[in-house]
Chains A and B, each alone.
Chain A
Amino acid sequence: MSADQIISSKTSLLQRPWRLWFAQIRSIVVLETRRNLLSWRSWWVYFLAFAPACIILLHALFDHGRGRMDEDTLVLAGIFQFYYLRLGIFFGCLGIAMRLIRGEMVERSLHYYLLAPVQREVLLVAKFFAGAVRSVVLFGGAVLASFLLMYAPYGSAGQQFISSDAGRLHLYAYLGITVLACMGYCSIFLLFSMLMKNPTPAALVLMGFEFISSILPPFIQRFSVAANLRHLLPVSIPAEGIFNLLTVTTEPVPVWLAVLGVLVLTAGILAVSCYRMRRLEISYTTE
């Protein structure tokens, strides 16, 4: 590429109506969040998100004083790694992302967006962020609640741990992983919902892939959300008993590379989704 071409493409990029696009994305995210954040139809997503927090609350109320804080730290790590990351966020994002495009096609309301003066790529990105925000609010809130409830019964010792560097590091790591997982899975399921009418079978295949990803070659692991995020977990679960089956020790990957891996994966999937979105036609009769 010549210098002139580079300058020309830079000028072309700068001339794009970025401000308008950001405003439109913000409008759509606000609109979607207002319409869908709290909805009776999504009760099962709330259940997926908050069930562990409820169990931890019951544990705090009725089983108080029987455990040790370091044991509960491991329990929390197990809940996060084996429940939230592998099941809760996975299926929650499936439910949320399926509604974004496919759900609107089933309800015959997608055309209102397609008839608005919004580039389809902008609409797709806005829909993705709307889904990601919704899942982050639900699962981030649930993870935060689980974390606080786990240490609350320990009184001042628990409070001290939460405010310590280690405690804050754990919390930030869990929340950061939740955000990245929500982004990664929302983008994948958004694409699935555009490629097929019922993305659930494909989601189950993906779940199998995510489950075995850590024993796959490193290059293939780059395409797995869970495999990338494993390297960010703040607490390692000892490979003992039942956890022996679920825990695989892999070569460590730097944090920045793991984060970048998920972000690049998300961006790549969104690029494919944008291409699909541009070619999308409204044919409600076939839904």
Chain B
Amino acid sequence: MNSEIIFGDVSKFYGEVLGVNRVSLSLPPGITSLVGPNGSGKTTLMNLMTGLIRPTRGSVSVMGLNPGDAYEFFRAVGYCTQFDSFPRGITGWDFVYDGLRLHGMNHKQAADLTVEALTRVNLGEAAHRKIAGYSKGMRQKVRLAQSIAHHPTVLVLDEPLNGLDPMARAESLALFHELGKQGMHVVISSHVLEEVDRISDRVVMMTGGYVIAVGNIHQVRQEVREKPMQILVRCAHPEVLASKIFELDHCVEAKLHADGAGVFVRTRDVDQFYTVINRIVSEGTVKIEAISPADDDASAIYQYLIGSDGGTA
């Protein structure tokens, strides 16, 4: 069986409004983050993946399955949407349990999996209260519980960290990380780039309905060649290093770190820069403690590609 999620030249238009356009993707198992500003097409892509909407053009296949075969498809797929709404008057327990009964499970199987899922998201105690009385974070958790309760192999999470407190965010990220390590597909859309960046195997960057970059975060950074790469050099005398760096043609900026123990360098030629740094080290002019890329993360790349701050989007 095909293990990938494949978008084949998919476009979706809502009347004359563009949802996504000409998206061709092939996502292997692991954690994939969809990153982009509001209206960039992340939710449309997730809804297409799960059959809630149909492509205007192209095709979507999830591990060779099609949402038209609902029984096979939704046994393999769990989708935690960002619609913050529930059937009226329902408790957290009933919400998860009722969903499992639709899988054709008997009472015991459904009840066992309900307990397991609610415990996994730390919602065991509030399970028998009505969802209408839940906080936003609890509602997010119960949706997550419902989407993982049947042990899917593909988990699609639309803004799953919204409304969660820092502790719950950390727990959720740990859970996603664990599921990703188990070989599942975990597709996450989020605006909190620093957090998803840490656990993602790859990112899909989107804007205006188009996919603009795909791949491992470091690969994507390498592809953004027109933007000078920023490197932080930790050293004892940063002002000395900065003066030497100004002599290099490919370095466009050198800025002292706020703590006075390092310098940020922007260079158009990383390889050349490292050669020069090696020479400086061997000359003994400046004692260098550490060198690390300063903009090799999703937030910086998001800023370069999309032109806004991903962390605050």
Chain A residues engaging chain B, CB cutoff 8 angstroms: 17, 20, 23-24, 27-28, 31, 35, 39, 104, 107-109, 111-120, 278-279, 281-284
Q: Is the CB of A111 within 8 A of B71?
A: no
A281-B53 CB under 8 A given contacts A107-B85, A109-B87 = yes
Q: Is B50 an interface residue (CB 8 A)?
A: yes
A-B contact pairs, 29 of them (CB 8 A): A17-B71, A20-B71, A23-B104, A24-B104, A27-B98, A31-B101, A35-B88, A35-B90, A104-B87, A107-B88, A108-B83, A108-B85, A109-B85, A111-B52, A112-B99, A115-B50, A115-B52, A116-B70, A116-B74, A116-B103, A117-B70, A117-B71, A117-B75, A118-B102, A281-B52, A281-B53, A282-B52, A283-B14, A283-B53
**Smallest CB-CB separation from B69: which chain A residue?**
A119
Residue from B47, B70, B77, B146 in contact with A119 in the complex, judged by beta carbons closer than 8 Å = B70
- In the complex, residue of chain B having the shortest beta-carbon distance to the beta carbon of A19: B104
**Interface mask (B41-53 → A, CB under 8 Å = 1, otherwise 0):** 0000001001111
Q: Does B73 contact A (CB under 8 A)?
A: yes
User: Are B52 and A120 in contact (CB-based, < 8 A)?
Assistant: no
Bound complex: CA of A229 vs CA of B105, how far in Å? 40
Q: Known: A35-B89, A108-B83. Is A118-B71 also a contact (CB below 8 A)?
A: yes
Partner-A contacts on B (CB < 8 A): 14, 47, 50-54, 68, 70-75, 77, 79, 81, 83, 85-90, 98-99, 101-104, 146
Chain B residues contacting A39 (CB-CB under 8 Å) are 88
Min distance, Cβ A231 to any Cβ of chain B, angstroms? 40
Q: Is the CB of B102 within 8 A of A117?
A: yes
A111 near B83 (CB under 8 angstroms)?
A: yes
CB of A42, distance to nearest CB on chain B (Å)? 11
**CB distance A112 to B51 under 8 Å?**
no
- CA distance in complex: A278, B101 (Å): 22
Main DSSP-derived SS at the B contact region = loop
A114 touches B71 (CB 8 A): no
Find chain B residues with CB under 8 A from A109 CB. 85-88
A101 and B184 alpha carbons, distance in the complex (Å): 33
Q: Which residue of A lies closest to B89 (CB)?
A: A35
Query: CA of A27 to CA of B90 in the docked complex: distance in angstroms?
Result: 16
* Most A CB within 10 A of own CB, among B47, B70, B73: B70
A27: nearest chain-B partner, CB-CB: B101
Question: Is A20 a contact of B98 with CB atoms below 8 Å?
Answer: no
* B68 / chain A contacts, CB cutoff of 8 Å: 278
Residues of B contacting A35 with CB < 8 Å? 87-90
- B-chain residues with CB within 8 Å of residue A282 when the two chains form the complex: 47, 52-53
B54 near A116: Cβ-Cβ < 8 Å: no
- Tell me how far the C-beta of A276 lies from the nearest C-beta in chain B, rounded to whole angstroms: 13
B73's nearest neighbour on chain A, judged by CB, is: A117
Q: Who on chain B is nearest to A23 by CB?
A: B104
Q: In the complex, A107→B14 CA distance in Å?
A: 21
Given contacts A35-B88, A111-B52, A117-B75, contact A24 B83 (CB under 8 A): no
Question: A111 touching B101 by the CB < 8 A rule?
Answer: no
Expressed in whole angstroms, the Cα–Cα distance for A278 and B68 within the complex equals 8
Cβ contact within 8 Å between A284 and B102: no
- Residues of chain B within 8 A of A108, CB atoms compared: 83, 85
Kindly state the separation between the CA atoms of A116 and B101 in the bound complex, as whole angstroms. Answer: 10
Contact between chains at A111 and B81 (CB < 8 Å): yes
User: Contact: B104 with A114, CB < 8 Å?
Assistant: no
Q: Would you give the shortest CB distance from A136 to chain B, in whole angstroms?
A: 22
Q: Give chain A nearest CB distance to B247 CB in angstroms.
A: 57
Contact A114 B98 (CB under 8 A): no
**Are A28 and B102 CB-contacts (below 8 A) given A109-B85, A118-B70, A282-B47?**
yes
Chain B neighbourhood of A20, CB < 8 A: 71, 104
Of all A-B residue pairs in the complex, the 4 with the closest CB atoms, nearest first, are: A108-B85, A117-B74, A116-B102, A282-B52
Nearest-Cβ distance from residue B65 to partner chain A, whole angstroms: 11
Residues of A within 8 A of B88 (CB): 35, 39, 107, 109
Question: Which residues of chain A come closer than 8 Å to B79, judged between CB atoms?
Answer: 115
Q: How far is the CA of A202 from the CA of B265 in the complex (A)?
A: 70
Within 8 Å CB of B90, what residues of A?
35
Query: Which residues on the A side are within 8 Å of B98 (C-beta)?
Result: 27, 31
- Among A28, A104, A114, A284, the residue within 8 A (CB) of B51 is A114
Could you say which of A107, A112, A119, A283 contacts B71, with CB atoms under 8 Å apart?
Answer: A119
> From B81, which residue of chain A is reached at the shortest CB distance?
A111
- Chain B residues in 8 Å Cβ range of A117: 70-75, 102-104
Shortest A159–chain B CB gap in Å is 41
